[in-house]
């Protein structure tokens, strides 16, 4: 039984728009984690959606509560609402509604904006509308105020660019440009697995590692014990990669064993003695690895690329099967009802996993396609077998980035929603010390996953190969650099934009080509403009709505601090 049932309608609005906000976060932001993997052909769109569903949900539920506390009490001090929970309920409902509507418009228009800045600016707008300049925490506030968060507008992309460029330059000079780059990559792979596994382990519970706080996984461990656990986990992953992964990819890239299937990796060391097919690596024989060197605009070659398990044409075949089912006559007829239930509804729900994102990334018209083709042709491409090694690492880093995104960005919807729920259910306005219900994190994580699976392709189409030509080694560096930046922000409980991080990482890796014309500066300009416009648009709209609702004479007195919503 809620403490204030007269506010049920506000709670209903808050629930609906918090769900819409999380949905659009999934559609707009999760592309930041997997767009590079899809663009470089390390994963199909359907595989990316499955991996993101697991990683986003796990990150949101396991780690998301810490950053959600910043959204909940770091922008507007909840102490300002003590004794007047109705104002707090309305303020956070208006903020999450405005943020959700802006993200919905941006996603529909394929604008990769920052969901973090959207909710933050909405909260700042409603705070200013209340007429109290001190209601909004403008300064640093231990990394939680507006000053600290907006500093990330330039700092986050710069840091991500630095990390990503360091990773790629090490990869380039230690492996890619070597005379026998494939063998060099095989020798270096355990080191890569060790480093990526360590970062992934660190992302599991940053609050325990940095602040030695108890957690379900690292409870009561000292910082030295946590460090030992992280290094030990990374060492185990590296050893497993040597035992199982290394002989598997050796059979692919050295022996050219095109008969190898994914489940053969379970054979482990036995693969060292597995003989190659007699016609391996001969003219007319099948290829053991996909061709990653194909430019994104070369669709004829792309369609003929070899994917051992899921061929690229499968989504088109499935779409044709769905579209071939036509409805004749009234929809209420039994045959038409069967077509709707059997084909149309499932087809609509799965459409977001069947779109040809690579084709969308090639340009919307001939002029743009020609410009992108010219840019792509300036990018240096490396040995295809060596790139194949990094496709596995790229999937690991994409999952790391996705986990970190779920931990960081679930706060953008559920942080505000938790205040709405607490006020409605308990009638109190509590800060970070209040309990954070786990079901709210599950609710937010589930909506993020649904958003990616149904509409994430609309943002993937304007990043990835639209910014620079991708490959597994480049995508691996971009994703790892971005993931490190987001994880560091999670340590500090500082919400940062994953969009800004991946764009900065993409720019950093592109500059490692030594040619500024290998990057789409026009595309970067439009993306940056979207970041800049998010603040004033969302802040002004949220503030205006809050002002109109709170200062309407029929609802309140002249002083906003004396609001009484008991009769609303």
Tens of pLDDT, residues 202-225: 765 543 334 333 344 444 567 788
Last-in-domain residue among 355, 386, 421: 355
286 backbone dihedrals φ, ψ, rounded to 5° = -70, 155
76 backbone dihedrals φ, ψ, rounded to 5° = -115, 125
> What interhelical angle do 146-171 and 472-491 show, nearest 10?
150
The Cβ of residue 371 has, within 10 Å, a number of other Cβ atoms equal to: 14
Tell me how many domains the chain contains: 2
Q: What is the mean pLDDT of residues 61-90?
A: 66
**CA 560 from centre of chain:** 39
136 backbone dihedrals φ, ψ, rounded to 5° = -100, 135
Residues 348 and 405 grouped into a single domain: no
Residues 373 and 429 grouped into a single domain: yes
In a domain, 550, yes or no: yes
pTM, full prediction: 0.79
In a domain, 478, yes or no: yes
Is pLDDT above 60 for 341? Answer: yes
Q: Exposed (0-12), middle (13-18) or buried (19+): which is 421, by Cβ within 10 Å? A: buried
Domain limits for position 364: 5-179+356-562
- Determine the Cα–Cα distance for residues 304 and 454; give it in Å rounded to an integer: 27
Cβ-count burial 387-416 (b if 16+ within 10 Å, e if not): bbbbbbbbbbbbbbbbbbbbbbbbbbbbbb
- Determine the Cα–Cα distance for residues 19 and 410; give it in Å rounded to an integer: 11
In a domain, 53, yes or no: yes
CB 503 within 8 A of CB 157: yes
Residue 283: the pLDDT is 66
- Determine the Cα–Cα distance for residues 139 and 328; give it in Å rounded to an integer: 63
Nearest to 110 by CA among 489, 514, 438, 455: 455
Q: What is the mean pLDDT of residues 433-442?
A: 72
Residues 387 and 510 grouped into a single domain: yes
Higher pLDDT, 437 or 460: 460
Last-in-domain residue among 355, 386, 410: 355
478 backbone dihedrals φ, ψ, rounded to 5° = -60, -50
In a domain, 197, yes or no: no
Average pLDDT, the chain: 78
Element (H, E) at 457: helix 457-460
Tokens representing residue 296 in the block: 């994104």
Residues 77 and 141 grouped into a single domain: yes
- Determine the Cα–Cα distance for residues 560 and 568; give it in Å rounded to an integer: 15
Residues 363 and 350 grouped into a single domain: no
Nearest to 268 by CA among 249, 245, 237: 245
Higher pLDDT, 516 or 320: 516
Indicate the SS3 state at residue 81.
helix
Per-residue confidence band for 251, with pLDDT thresholds at 50, 70 and 90: very high
Residues 150 and 59 grouped into a single domain: yes
Is pLDDT above 90 for 505? Answer: yes
In a domain, 382, yes or no: yes
In a domain, 449, yes or no: yes
Residues 328 and 424 grouped into a single domain: no
In a domain, 227, yes or no: no
Nearest to 519 by CA among 500, 504, 498, 501: 504
Tokens representing residue 455 in the block: 């509409």
Which residues partner with 43 through β-bridges? none
Residues 350 and 458 grouped into a single domain: no
Nearest to 452 by CA among 35, 16, 17, 15: 35
What are 7-59's pLDDT values in tens digits?
788 889 999 999 999 899 888 887 777 888 888 888 888 888 888 888 888 87
Nearest to 469 by CA among 371, 391, 381, 357: 381
Last-in-domain residue among 326, 355, 384: 355
Residues 432 and 544 grouped into a single domain: yes
- Determine the Cα–Cα distance for residues 55 and 406; give it in Å rounded to an integer: 7
- Determine the Cα–Cα distance for residues 404 and 243; give it in Å rounded to an integer: 28
Q: What is the mean pLDDT of residues 505-532?
A: 89
Residues 487 and 557 grouped into a single domain: yes
Tokens representing residue 374 in the block: 């010219």
Residues 73 and 166 grouped into a single domain: yes
Residues 350 and 361 grouped into a single domain: no
Q: Residue holding tokens 């810490």?
A: 66
Query: Percent of the chain beyond pLDDT 90?
Result: 21
Is pLDDT above 80 for 255? Answer: yes
In a domain, 252, yes or no: no
């Amino acid at each position: 039984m809620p403490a204030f049932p007269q506010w049920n309608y506000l709670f209903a609005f808050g629930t609906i728009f918090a769900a819409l906000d999380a949905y659009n976060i999934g559609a707009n932001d999760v592309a930041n984690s997997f767009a590079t993997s899809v663009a470089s052909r390390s994963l199909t769109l359907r595989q990316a959606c499955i991996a993101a569903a697991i990683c986003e949900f796990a990150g949101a539920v396991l780690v998301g509560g810490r950053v959600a506390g910043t959204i909940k009490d770091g922008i507007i001090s909840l102490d300002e609402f003590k004794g007047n929970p109705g104002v707090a309920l309305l303020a956070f409902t208006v903020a999450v509604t405005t943020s959700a509507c802006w993200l919905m418009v941006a996603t529909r228009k394929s604008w990769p904006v920052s969901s973090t800045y959207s909710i933050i600016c909405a909260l700042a707008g409603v705070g200013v509308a209340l007429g109290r300049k001190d209601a909004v925490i403008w300064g640093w506030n231990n990394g939680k105020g507006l000053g600290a968060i907006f500093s990330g507008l330039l700092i986050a992309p710069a840091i991500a660019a630095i990390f990503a460029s360091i990773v790629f330059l090490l990869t380039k000079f230690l492996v890619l440009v070597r005379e026998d780059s494939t063998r060099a990559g095989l020798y270096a792979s355990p080191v890569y697995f060790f480093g990526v596994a360590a970062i992934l382990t660190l992302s599991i519970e940053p609050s325990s590692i940095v602040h030695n706080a108890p957690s379900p996984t690292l409870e009561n461990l000292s910082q030295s014990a946590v460090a030992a656990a992280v290094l030990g986990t990374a060492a185990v992953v590296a050893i497993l990669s040597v035992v199982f992964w290394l002989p598997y990819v050796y059979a692919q890239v050295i022996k050219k064993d095109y008969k190898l299937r994914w489940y053969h990796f379970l054979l482990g060391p036995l693969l060292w003695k597995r003989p190659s097919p007699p016609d391996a690596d001969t003219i007319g024989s099948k290829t053991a690895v996909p061709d990653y060197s194909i430019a994104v605009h070369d669709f004829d070659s792309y369609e003929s690329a070899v994917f051992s398990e899921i061929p690229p044409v499968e989504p088109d075949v499935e779409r044709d099967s769905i579209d071939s089912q036509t409805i004749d006559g009234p929809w209420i007829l039994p045959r038409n009802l069967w077509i709707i239930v059997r084909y149309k509804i499932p087809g609509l729900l799965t459409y977001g996993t069947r779109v040809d994102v690579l084709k969308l990334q090639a340009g919307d018209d001939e002029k743009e396609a020609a410009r992108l083709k010219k840019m792509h042709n300036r990018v240096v491409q490396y040995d295809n077998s060596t790139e194949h090694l990094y496709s596995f690492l790229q999937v690991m880093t994409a999952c790391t980035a996705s986990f970190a995104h779920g931990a960081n960005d679930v706060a953008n919807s559920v942080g505000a929603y938790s205040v709405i729920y607490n006020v409605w259910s308990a009638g109190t306005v509590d800060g970070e010390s209040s309990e954070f219900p786990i079901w709210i994190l599950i609710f937010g994580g589930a909506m993020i996953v649904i958003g990616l699976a149904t509409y994430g392709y609309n943002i993937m189409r304007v990043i990835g190969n639209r910014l620079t030509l991708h490959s597994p080694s480049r995508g691996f560096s971009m994703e790892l650099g971005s993931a490190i930046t987001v994880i560091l922000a999670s340590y500090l409980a500082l919400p940062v934009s994953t969009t800004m991080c991946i764009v900065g990482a993409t720019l950093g890796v592109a500059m490692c080509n030594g040619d500024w014309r290998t990057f789409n500066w026009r595309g970067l300009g439009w993306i940056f403009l979207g970041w800049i416009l998010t603040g004033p648009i969302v802040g002004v709209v949220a503030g205006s709505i809050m002002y109109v609702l709170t200062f309407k004479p029929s609802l309140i007195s002249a002083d906003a601090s004396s609001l009484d919503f008991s009769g609303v």
